[in-house]
Amino acid sequence: MPIISISINESIKKFINKLISKQHYDNRSKLVRDALLRLMSTVDSEEVDSDGESIPISKKINGNLMIVIPNDYNVVKKINKIETIFKNHIVSRNQHYMQENLTIFMVYEGYLEDFHKLVVEINSISEITNFRYLIIN
């Protein structure tokens, strides 16, 4: 993943550290990624473009997702609820148990806008141990 640097004031830094210390997020990067993904799902991306050209939010894409969660009934239930919402876009799903964790692999086909929504929903699950995704085209 690319790394970027940002400048924030002291009150935002304290707020971020408070969220992390209360275990809402594992680290600052995950918090910022989640916040930006949530913003992306609420803002019309075609309105936000620095080059003056439209961003094709309606573009069809393929994507891969890997989610690592505790093997806990309530957490699995949250994932299953999200999968039900996006069932028309999830074309493949596999899962593997490793000790106390469950790793879920998904293949997504659909629109970029819906993929963003899926990622935001998955990121909202606080119990996630690890989450990675890749847009293929």
What pTM did the predictor assign?
0.64
Domain membership of residue 18 (yes or no) is: yes
Percentage, residues of the chain above pLDDT 90: 44
Q: Which two tokens stand for residue 29?
A: 């990067």
Q: How far is residue 122's CA from residue 125's CA, in Å, rounded to a whole number?
A: 6
pLDDT at 57: 59
What CATH number is associated with residue 48?
3.30.70.1150
Q: Output the pLDDT for position 48.
A: 53
Instruction: Count the domains in the chain.
Output: 1
43 located within any domain: yes
Say how many C-beta atoms besides its own lie within 10 A of residue 37's C-beta. Answer: 19
Assess if residue 54 is contained within a domain: yes
User: Which residues are paired to 134 by β-bridges?
Assistant: 64
Q: Does any domain span residue 122?
A: yes
With respect to residue 4, please indicate whether it lies within any of the assigned structural domains.
Answer: no
Residue 13 confidence class, pLDDT cut points 50, 70, 90: confident
Give me the residues paired with residue 125 across strands: none
103 within some domain: yes
Say if 5 falls within a structural domain. Answer: no
pLDDT at 102: 95
pLDDT at 17: 87
CA 53 to chain centre: 26
Is residue 1 included in any domain, yes or no?
no
Per-residue pLDDT reduced to its tens digit, 17-76: 888 887 667 788 888 877 777 676 556 555 555 555 544 557 889 999 999 999 999 999
pLDDT higher for 49 or 77? Answer: 77
Rounded distance, CA 97 to CA 95, Å? 7
> Which residue segment(s) compose the domain that 122 sits in?
10-135
